Each structure stands twice: as C-alpha cells, then as structure tokens.
C-alpha cells in the first residue's frame, strides 16, 4: 500500500506529543509536595493533549517508559494518574494518592465466560473521593477511564455514586453486595504494590463483603480519568442533530454496505444487529465470523425491520442510509429510544460523509481511521484522474456496467458507477439517457450503444461473463467481439457500489481501461495492502484472485 499523506503528519504529531508529554512529566517531577497538583489550562491546550493521546498511542508508551523505571517500584514523584474535568486537569503521584482517604476490602472479577479471579485484598481510593477533589460530576455526566495500553472503560453516574453494578457470589451466582460496591483506584494488592502489568494503578470494584464483580469493570494500568457529558451529538445527512451516548458500544446497522464501513473503522465488534444480506456475504463472514451469529432484524426488503428483535439487542444507535425508514417506523424507533443516524449513498462525496458520520458515531479512534481512509480514497482519485482527465471524450472507451442476472440492467447518470467509470477514463454509455441505479434496459438498447467494454457486477460473476460472451443478442457489440467482458471484483462488499472498496475499484477500473497508462498499479498488491491496513487481514494470492474475479473465498 502506498502510504501517501499520513507519513509527515504522523511524524509531526509524534514529535509534538513527545514534547507535551515530556513537559508534563517535568512539571510533575518538580512538585514533590503531598497535595494534589491542580493545573487549570485553557480549553485548547486540554483538547490538544487529548487529541495527542488519542491519535498517537506511541506517545503514551513513551511517557510510560519515562514514568515507570525498569524496577517494579514506581518513583514516588512520578505522575501515575491524571483526572480531566472540563478545563481542570489534576495529576497525582503515588504518594499523593496514598495520602487520600483509603478504602480497604475484597475484590473479585468474574469474566463473561464465568471465570472467577480472586478474591484478593485491595487498598485504593474511592473514585468519588478523587472526583470530589476534581470538582465533582453531575448525573448528566459520565466518565471514561483510559489505560496505558489504550483500552478504556466507561462508567455512568449511577454506577459510581449509587454502586449500581452487578455483583455475584464467589461461585458466580447473582447476589447483592451487602454494602455499596465502590469503584476504586487501587494501588495495593494483598499488601504489595501492583506490578508493571497491572499498575501502578488499577481500576476495580472493592466490596466490603466477599463479592465478585464484572471483569469489564476492571481496568489494568489505569492512566487517565476523563469526566464528560454522558451524551454527545452527531449531525446526520438529513441535517438532524442526533443525541447518542458518549461512548457507543452497541451499533445496529440496517444499511448493508455500511456494515463494511463499520468494520473498516474498527467497529465490527460493536455491531449487535445487522442485516440478513450482510450475513450472506461470504468475504464479510470470512473476515468477521461473528457477524453471522448476531441478530439480523433487517432483511433485503428496504425499510422493513423486526422491531422486537432490534429492541432486544439494546442498541446505542441505529445506522441506516438516508430515507430508509418511513415516518411511522422512525416514530417507533423514537418510542423505543433508539437514536437513528442517517447517511447519504449516491456519490463519492456521499461516501466520504458516510465514512465520516459513521466514524463520529463509533468514536475518536475510528475518526483517525476515517481520515486515513478518506486520504487514501482521494489519493487514488487524484492519482487516476491526473492521468485520465486530459483524455478527450472521443478517445475514451465506451463502458457498459451491468448487473446482468436474468435481468439486463445498467447504471446511468448520478450513480457511483457512472462516477468511477469517468474517473477511470471511460464513458458510461448509459449516462446520456439513463439516470440512477440498476435500471432495466432492452437488449436492443445495448446493441445500439455498442459498448467496447462490459463490466458485469454482482455474483455469480464468472457465469454471467460466459453467458454474455455466448449470447447471440450481445454478439454484435465490440466488447464481445474483442472479448472485453469482465467480472467486477467483489470483496467484503461489492466493489462497484456503496462500499469502502470503491477506493480499490477506481484503481482496478483505471488499470482495466488504460493498462498502458497505469503500469505502476499492481491491483493485487494494492488489495492486499488495503485489507492488511484497514481490515487487519492478510490475503493470500488465491484470496486476491478470488476477490478480483468476484468469487467467494477459496475453501
């Protein structure tokens, strides 16, 4: 994969954040008094620190090596915990924490699989104590706790202040904790300081009795606590401002192609409801087998939903393409308190805003990926159009894109397909007279258009190419005479419409139409690189060959 834009920017971000981290460490090192260090910074400064922490995980590693010396003990003068509350930033050294009112008790974690770890005796500081010192929080706020390795944990107001967390007996059955379970920042376990893999600070639930709590509420290597609003807003493509939880963990996606974009942005594990169509996409299931097992309240029939099935998945947000659901169904979503974020589908600009809106919904890390993806997409468009735009219309090959499966259909003006045919240096034969996607056309019209290249979209491609080559009705077209009939690649989603793989489609089409002008493009390598960077999946040569011919994964 050609790493076009990000290189220099990554260096800049890296350098800047190193500087900021160093100065922070230096500031805290000079302060050896036991009282907590409170710095009130301007809003911009705070947000830039946050951005740095998000965009560049490497910086955190750097600061870690500075704060924790090779020995297991952490110097008493190093900052071990940062609390950010609005414009207030508060840092603590281990000594400062120990000076606060301590809580001692038992702690036991129960994993999703039911594995019990503990009980152990812990000493720490209640989260409420720390929050009080940092200006407190209100019931309309929630917090995010971040660990040095980048993992996070979210806690609501009631979890912190009313102890509304699940507690269990040591055999794993649900039981009341007796007294209120305390979310605490732990610095001592069974009388010892925490080792480097757990500490110096760990978030956990300390109970007065021997009760276990969900392992998801325990966070090793706790680094930072951020107090923020419990909700945030996203502006969707209809211009509506949609209120969603600050941290979105459960996504329902009614738009087939958008499921791939969620996967691209690293949110596949957050999908709790999908469509039957997505579950039938062989490459999607191959890359993310879990997708086949989650509920699918949406089918191929647009606008339909199994509402009860959807509600049962308890989604934080529902993603869909603009106008998918009628007013009555939207009212049902509203009644079920499911925020609906709509996104546009028609053009390449729409594809970018869909990626951006989806990323905003998923969270900050996804936004970084979205920026990388969009710069890659635009890079490809620029690379291809720089070569193709000088080609006069008269020299451009005439292209017909058809989803021929028993019905002859094509895509005309105002479609993504028309757009990439133009980028790639071709003329869409249908665009002059046909507008929109997948319009049924007559065999006579195809013969009259006489395309010089035919691209066949949608499975089963190989058979469709053969069917066209052997069909006497197509026999007069230049494409058939010169054997210029090609299957469109199909990966996680169809490359030709709506999907993230449109970025690859542009390169593939350019190379197909103008092989001599794009000798620099190796579509196999490009595909492998794309899958590796965005889907974290290493394709074999056989895999790439299958994708490029529009086939299912080789078994």
Partner 1 sequence: MSKKKIIILIVIPLLVFYVSLFVGRYMMDPITVLRILLSKIVPITHNWSSTAEVIIIQIRFPRAVLAMFVGAGLSISGSAYQGMFRNPLVSPDILGVSAAAGFGAALAILLSANIWELQLAAFAFGVLGVTLTYMIARVYKTTPTLMLVLAGVVVAAFFSALVSGVKLIADPEAKLPAITYWLLGSFNRATYKSLFTVIPIITLGSIGLMLVSWRLNVLSMGDDEARSMGVKTESLKLFIIVCTTLITASAVSVSGIVGWVGLVIPHVGRMIVGPNHRWLLPTSMALGAVFLLVVDDIARTATPLDIPIGILTGLIGAPFFAYLLRRTKGGWK
Quick one: which of 84, 219, 264, 434 contacts partner 1 (CB under 8 A)? 434
Which of 170, 145, 148, 173 is CA-nearest to residue 159?
A: 145
Tell me the C-alpha distance between 204 and 430, whole Å: 63
Q: Measured at the alpha carbon of residue 47, what is the angle toward residues 41 and 53, in degrees to the nearest 5?
A: 115
550: its two tokens: 């529009």
Quick one: which of 216, 450, 524, 549 contacts partner 1 (CB under 8 A)? 450
Tell me the C-alpha distance between 126 and 440, whole Å: 67
Residue 430 in the binding site for partner 1 (CB under 8 A): yes
Tell me the C-alpha distance between 428 and 300, whole Å: 28
CB 236 within 8 A of CB 357: yes
For partner 1, give the closer residue by CB, 56 or 499.
Answer: 499
Piece in contact with partner 1 (CB under 8 A), picked from 316-324, 459-467, 500-508, 509-517: 459-467
428-455: b (≥16 Cβ within 10 Å) or e: bbbbeebeebbeebeeeebeebebbbbb
Piece in contact with partner 1 (CB under 8 A), picked from 56-64, 319-327, 346-354, 435-443: 435-443
Residue 308 in the binding site for partner 1 (CB under 8 A): no
Closest CB 489 distance from partner 1, rounded Å: 14
For partner 1, give the closer residue by CB, 48 or 304.
Answer: 304
Closest CB 458 distance from partner 1, rounded Å: 4
For partner 1, give the closer residue by CB, 298 or 508.
Answer: 298
Which CA distances in Å does 27 have to 24, 158, 514?
5, 34, 59
Closest CB 441 distance from partner 1, rounded Å: 6
CB 101 within 8 A of CB 125: yes
Closest CB 533 distance from partner 1, rounded Å: 26
Closest CB 356 distance from partner 1, rounded Å: 24
Relative orientation angle of helices 523-534 and 541-548, to the nearest 10 degrees: 110
Piece in contact with partner 1 (CB under 8 A), picked from 83-91, 119-127, 401-409, 530-538: 401-409
Quick one: which of 258, 274, 388, 403 contacts partner 1 (CB under 8 A)? 403
Tally Cβ neighbours within 10 Å of residue 102: 15
Q: First CA to last CA across the chain, in angstroms? A: 26
Tell me the C-alpha distance between 211 and 176, whole Å: 8
Piece in contact with partner 1 (CB under 8 A), picked from 182-190, 241-249, 273-281, 381-389: 273-281
Tell me the C-alpha distance between 370 and 418, whole Å: 24
Closest CB 416 distance from partner 1, rounded Å: 12
Closest CB 293 distance from partner 1, rounded Å: 17
CB 491 within 8 A of CB 503: no
CB 371 within 8 A of CB 422: no
Pair type for strands 340-343 and 167-168: unpaired
Relative orientation angle of helices 523-534 and 364-388, to the nearest 10 degrees: 160
For partner 1, give the closer residue by CB, 238 or 300.
Answer: 300
Quick one: which of 312, 443, 542, 545 contacts partner 1 (CB under 8 A)? 443
Query: With CB under 8 A, what is the number of residues at the site for partner 1?
Result: 43
Closest CB 457 distance from partner 1, rounded Å: 8
Contact flags string 356-395 toward partner 1, x per CB under 8 A: ----------------------------------------
CB 36 within 8 A of CB 82: no
How far does CA 95 lie from the centroid of its chain? 39
Residue 439 in the binding site for partner 1 (CB under 8 A): yes
Quick one: which of 259, 452, 458, 484 contacts partner 1 (CB under 8 A)? 458
Residue 330 in the binding site for partner 1 (CB under 8 A): no
Binders of partner 1 among residues 241 to 260 (CB under 8 A) are 256
Closest CB 270 distance from partner 1, rounded Å: 24
Rg (CA), the chain: 28
Binders of partner 1 among residues 471 to 500 (CB under 8 A) are 471-473, 475-477, 494, 497
Residue 447 in the binding site for partner 1 (CB under 8 A): yes
Tell me the C-alpha distance between 63 and 210, whole Å: 36
Piece in contact with partner 1 (CB under 8 A), picked from 55-63, 214-222, 390-398, 468-476: 468-476
Would you tell me which residues interact with partner 1 (CB under 8 A)? 256, 276-277, 280, 299-302, 304, 403, 405-409, 430, 433-434, 438-445, 447-448, 450, 457-460, 463, 467, 471-473, 475-477, 494, 497
């Amino acid at each position: 994969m050609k790493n076009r834009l990000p290189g220099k920017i990554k260096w800049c971000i890296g350098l800047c954040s190193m500087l900021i981290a160093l100065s922070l460490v230096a500031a805290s090192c000079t302060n050896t008094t036991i009282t907590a260090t409170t710095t009130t910074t301007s809003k911009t400064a705070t947000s830039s620190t946050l951005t740095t922490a998000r965009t560049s995980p490497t910086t955190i590693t750097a600061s870690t090596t500075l704060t924790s010396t090779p020995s297991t003990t952490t110097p008493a003068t190093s900052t071990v915990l940062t609390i950010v509350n609005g414009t207030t930033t508060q840092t603590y050294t281990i000594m400062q924490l120990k000076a606060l009112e301590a809580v001692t008790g038992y702690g036991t974690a129960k994993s999703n699989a039911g594995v019990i770890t503990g009980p152990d005796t812990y000493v720490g500081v209640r989260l409420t104590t720390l929050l009080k010192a940092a200006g407190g929080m209100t019931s309309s706020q929630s917090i995010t706790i971040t660990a040095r390795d980048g993992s996070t944990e979210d806690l609501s107001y009631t979890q912190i202040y009313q102890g509304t967390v699940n507690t269990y007996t040591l055999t794993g059955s649900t039981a009341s904790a007796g007294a209120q379970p305390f979310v605490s920042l732990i610095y001592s376990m069974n009388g010892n300081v925490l080792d480097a893999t757990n500490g110096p600070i760990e978030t956990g639930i300390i109970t007065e009795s021997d009760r276990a709590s969900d392992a998801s509420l325990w966070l090793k290597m706790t680094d930072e606590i951020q107090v923020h609003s419990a909700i945030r807003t996203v502006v969707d493509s209809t211009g509506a401002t949609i209120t969603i939880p600050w941290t979105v963990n459960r996504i329902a996606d009614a738009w087939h192609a958008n499921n791939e974009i969620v996967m691209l942005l690293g949110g596949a594990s957050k999908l709790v409801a999908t469509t039957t169509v997505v579950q039938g996409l062989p490459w999607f299931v191959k890359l993310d087998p879990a997708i086949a097992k989650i509920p699918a309240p949406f089918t191929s029939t647009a606008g339909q939903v199994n509402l009860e099935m959807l509600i049962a998945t308890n989604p934080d947000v529902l993603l869909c393409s603009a106008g998918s659901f009628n007013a009555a169904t939207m009212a049902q979503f509203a009644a079920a308190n499911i925020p609906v974020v709509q996104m546009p589908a028609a053009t390449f600009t729409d594809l970018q805003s869909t990626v951006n809106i989806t990323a905003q919904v998923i969270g900050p890390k996804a936004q970084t990926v979205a920026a990388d993806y969009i710069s890659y997409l635009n890079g490809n468009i620029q690379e291809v159009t720089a070569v193709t735009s000088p080609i006069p219309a008269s020299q451009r090959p005439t292209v017909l894109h058809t989803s021929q499966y028993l019905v002859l259909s094509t895509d005309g003006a105002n479609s993504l397909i028309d757009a990439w045919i133009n980028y790639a240096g071709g003329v869409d034969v249908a665009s002059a007279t046909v507008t929109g996607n997948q319009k049924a056309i007559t065999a006579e019209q195809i013969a009259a258009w006489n395309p010089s290249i035919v691209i066949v979209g949608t499975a089963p491609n190989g058979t469709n190419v053969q069917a066209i080559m052997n069909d006497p009705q197509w026999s007069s077209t230049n494409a058939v005479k010169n054997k210029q009939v090609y299957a469109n690649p199909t990966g996680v989603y169809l490359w030709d419409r709506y999907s993230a793989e449109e970025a690859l489609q542009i390169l593939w089409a350019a190379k197909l139409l103008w092989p001599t002008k794009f000798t620099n493009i190796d579509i196999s390598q490009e595909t492998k690189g794309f899958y590796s960077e965005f889907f974290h999946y290493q394709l074999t040569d056989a895999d790439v060959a299958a994708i490029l011919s529009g086939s299912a994964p080789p078994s």
